[in-house]
Chain A
Amino acid sequence: MPTDTKRVRGPEVSQSPSLFLCKPAAVFPSHGARADGRQRDQVDVRPVFVRCGLVSQAKGSAYIEAGNTKLMCCVYGPKETERKDETDMKCGKLTTDMRFAPFSCLERGSWIQGSQDKDLSLMLHESLQPAVCLHKYPRSQIEVNVMVLENSGSVLAHAVTCASLALADAGIEMYDLVLGCSIRQDGASYVVDPSYMEENSCSSVGSKNQGGLTVAFLPSLNQISGLQSDGEMTEETLTAGVRTCIEGCYKLYPVIQQALAKAVRRAAPPPSES
C-alpha cells in the first residue's frame, strides 16, 4: 500500500467520529421535495457559477461552482511530450489528471492517488478526447488537471464541463464544448445533479432501480462522448436517464457559452469605434 511518509496521519485503526453518531443515518425519502428545494423527476440542475482565466500561469483555466461542489481546472499545452517514446507523429496526446483535495469530502482523503481518482481521470480523458482536434497538434501533449476543492455531488459531470471550458480558454481547437450531467435513480423517481447526500444515501428499500448515471455530451453535434452508470437499473430506465441527462446538458449550454464569451471579451476587448 503506498503510504505518505511526509504527513502525520492518525493511527491506522482510527475511525471518523461520524460513524459513532447516535442518530440513525438519514434515509432520504424517495418522494417529496429534495433537501435543497429542487424538484424530483424534473430536469432541475443546480445553478452554476463559472469563470475562466483564474490561474494566470496556466495556458487556460476555469472554475465552476454548482451548489457546494467547487472545482477548478488548468490546461497546459500544447507542449513537448514528456516521454519521448510516446510521441505520436500524427496527432497530439491528451493527458488528464483529476484529484480530490484531502479536505474536499466528508472523510479526509489522502494525497496519494487512489483507484477512484485514477478511474475518474480515465473517464474524464474518454469524455474529452472526442472533442479535441488532436490531429492539429502532432508530436505535442496537452495536459488537463482538475482539482476538486469541495465534493458535494456530481463531481465527474462538473469536471467534464470545467475541463472543456478550460481547454477553450486555452485556445485549444475543439469540435464542440463537452458538458456533463448526472442523475441518481432511486426506485421510480430520479434526481438530476444529485448532491453528495443524495448520491450516497443507502435506500433501505431494496427497490428495483437504484443507481447513478453520468453522461458527457457535445450539444451542437448531438454526440455522447462519455457514459458511465452503476447500481442496477432496467434498460428502459437507463435509456430514459440518458435522455434526461442530455436535457440537463442543453440547459447548461447557454450559461457556459456566455461565460466563455465574457472571458474572451475581457482578454481581447473588441476594438472601439473611433
Chain B
Amino acid sequence: MATVQVSEAEKVYILHGIRDDLRVDGRGCEDYRHMEIETDVVSNTDGSAKVTLGHTAVLVGIKADIGKPRPMVPNEGYLEFFVDCSANATPEFEGRGGEELGTELSNTLYKVFNNKHSVDLKGLCISAGEHCWVLYVDVLLLQCDGNLYDAISVAIKAALFNTKIPRVHISADEEGGKEIELSDDPYDCMRLNVENVPCIVTLCKVGHRHVVDATLQEKACSVASLIISVTHKGTVTCTRKVGGGSLDPESIFEMTKAGKRVGKALHAPLMKLLQQEESLGKTRQKVGFLG
C-alpha cells in the first residue's frame, strides 16, 4: 500500500485525537470523507463508474462477454475481477510494483462475491452448459489516499447498477447447432439487481478505538485493520484482518458490530443516489474527469 512517513510526534497527536473522537480533519470516528460517484463515464464499456473518496479515485469498467459456464455450475454465469494499480497513483506502483496489492484486492473481491445472493448468477445464463454471460469487472486505481476497499466496493456496486447487458435470442440453425442473435435495438438490454451487492467497510484499529475511512496518516498509526463486507440486510459476506499486528477478540467483536452498522447505513443513500442519477436520463450533465 502506498505509505507516508509519519513522525512519532504526529503519531501521538493522531492517537490522542482519535481517543477523544476527533480526527485530524475534524471527522468523527465513524464518518466518511466526501464521496463523489458518477456512472457511465466510459462509453466503450457495458457499465462503468468513477468514485472519488477524499483523494482516493477509483474507476471501474464492466464488460459483458459470452463465455462457457464453469463445469461445476453449468446454469450460472460468473464474474471475473481484476484490479490494476496504475502508476499514476504513486510511483511505487510502477512496473510490477502494484501487482501484489492488485492481487490482494482482486482476491478479496472474489471472496466478497463468493455467495449465492450478491449477484443473480442464474440470470446470467444463456443456455445451460454452453453459453453464459461473463462479467469482467476491471478496477483501475487512479489516486491512492487510503481506504481502497471501500471506494472499490462502492464503485463496483455503482457500475453493476449501470451495466446494460444486451438481450440475446437463441435460435436453432440448419445443422442443429445454436445460433446467438443480439437484438437490433441498442436500448433493449437487461439490467442487474444490485440490492444485495455488499459494500466493504474498513475499520482501522488506532490506539484503543477504531476508525472508519482512514487516511494514509491514520493508517500509518494503526497496527491492524479489519475489512468487513456488509449487505443492506446486515449479512456479512467476508471479513478479513489485514496488517501486521494482532487484535484482541473483544475489539474484533466491537469492530464487527460497528462495521455492520456503518455498512448497513451506507446502502440506502447509495441506492437513492444511483436511482436519482438514472432518472435524470439524457438531461444529466456529465462531469467526467475534469470536474
Which one of B112, B114, B241 contacts A126 once the chains associate, using CB atoms below 8 Å? B241
Q: For the complex, give the distance between the alpha carbons of A246 and B238 in Å.
A: 19
A56 proximal to B (CB < 8 A): no
Q: For the complex, give the distance between the alpha carbons of A221 and B252 in Å.
A: 15
Q: For the complex, give the distance between the alpha carbons of A206 and B240 in Å.
A: 24
A41 proximal to B (CB < 8 A): no
A154 proximal to B (CB < 8 A): no
Q: For the complex, give the distance between the alpha carbons of A238 and B114 in Å.
A: 16
A110 proximal to B (CB < 8 A): no
* Interface 9-residue window, one of B156-164, B242-250, B275-283: B242-250
Q: For the complex, give the distance between the alpha carbons of A39 and B231 in Å.
A: 32
B157 smallest CB distance to A (angstroms): 16
Contact indicator per residue, chain A 230-249, by CB within 8 Å of chain B (1) or not (0): 11111100110011001000
B154 smallest CB distance to A (angstroms): 19
* Interface 9-residue window, one of B51-59, B103-111, B137-145: B103-111
Interface size for B (C-beta < 8 A) is 37
Contact call B235/A228, Cβ cutoff below 8 A: no
Contact call B252/A227, Cβ cutoff below 8 A: yes
Interface residues of B in 220-273 (CB under 8 A from A): 224, 226, 231, 234-249, 252-253, 256-257, 260
Contact call B72/A246, Cβ cutoff below 8 A: no
A104 proximal to B (CB < 8 A): no
Interface size for A (C-beta < 8 A) is 37
Contact call B115/A232, Cβ cutoff below 8 A: yes
Contact call B236/A232, Cβ cutoff below 8 A: yes
Which one of B72, B106, B240 contacts A115 once the chains associate, using CB atoms below 8 Å? B106
Q: For the complex, give the distance between the alpha carbons of A122 and B236 in Å.
A: 22
- B243: chain A residues within 8 A (beta carbon): 126
Contact call A19/B71, Cβ cutoff below 8 A: yes
Say whether, besides A126-B244, A222-B248, A230-B111, A239 and B106 are in contact (CB < 8 Å): no
B17 smallest CB distance to A (angstroms): 25
Contact call B104/A122, Cβ cutoff below 8 A: yes
A262 proximal to B (CB < 8 A): no
Q: For the complex, give the distance between the alpha carbons of A221 and B247 in Å.
A: 10
Which one of B71, B231, B237, B252 contacts A15 once the chains associate, using CB atoms below 8 Å? B71
B34 proximal to A (CB < 8 A): no
Contact call A118/B103, Cβ cutoff below 8 A: yes
A202 smallest CB distance to B (angstroms): 8
B208 proximal to A (CB < 8 A): no
A98 proximal to B (CB < 8 A): no
Contact call B256/A235, Cβ cutoff below 8 A: yes
Which one of B110, B234, B237, B244 contacts A231 once the chains associate, using CB atoms below 8 Å? B237
B81 smallest CB distance to A (angstroms): 10
A88 proximal to B (CB < 8 A): no
B191 proximal to A (CB < 8 A): no
Contact call B241/A227, Cβ cutoff below 8 A: yes
Interface residues of B in 99-135 (CB under 8 A from A): 103-104, 106-107, 110-112, 114-117
A96 proximal to B (CB < 8 A): no
A229 proximal to B (CB < 8 A): yes
Q: For the complex, give the distance between the alpha carbons of A80 and B1 in Å.
A: 24
Contact call A233/B103, Cβ cutoff below 8 A: no
A180 proximal to B (CB < 8 A): no
A94 smallest CB distance to B (angstroms): 9
Contact call B249/A230, Cβ cutoff below 8 A: no
Contact call A230/B237, Cβ cutoff below 8 A: yes
Contact call B239/A224, Cβ cutoff below 8 A: no
- B242: chain A residues within 8 A (beta carbon): 126
A210 proximal to B (CB < 8 A): yes
Of all chain B residues, the one with the shortest Cβ separation from A217 is B249
Q: For the complex, give the distance between the alpha carbons of A261 and B148 in Å.
A: 44
Contact call A222/B241, Cβ cutoff below 8 A: no
Contact call B249/A229, Cβ cutoff below 8 A: no
Q: For the complex, give the distance between the alpha carbons of A226 and B241 in Å.
A: 6
Q: For the complex, give the distance between the alpha carbons of A126 and B225 in Å.
A: 11
- A227: chain B residues within 8 A (beta carbon): 226, 239-241, 247, 252
Q: For the complex, give the distance between the alpha carbons of A115 and B99 in Å.
A: 12
Contact call B237/A19, Cβ cutoff below 8 A: no
A223 proximal to B (CB < 8 A): yes
Contact call B238/A229, Cβ cutoff below 8 A: yes
A166 smallest CB distance to B (angstroms): 19
Contact call B107/A223, Cβ cutoff below 8 A: no
Query: What are 16 A-B residue pairs whose CB atoms fall within 8 Å in the complex?
Result: A19-B72, A115-B107, A122-B104, A130-B224, A130-B246, A206-B117, A210-B115, A211-B237, A221-B246, A223-B246, A227-B240, A227-B241, A230-B112, A232-B236, A234-B235, A235-B256
A interface residues (Cβ-Cβ under 8 A, vs B):
15, 19, 115-116, 118-119, 122-123, 126, 129-131, 206, 208, 210-211, 218, 221-235, 238-239, 242-243, 246
Given A15-B71, A223-B249, A231-B115, 7 other A-B residues pairs in contact with their CB atoms under 8 A: A116-B107, A119-B103, A131-B246, A206-B117, A223-B248, A238-B239, A242-B252
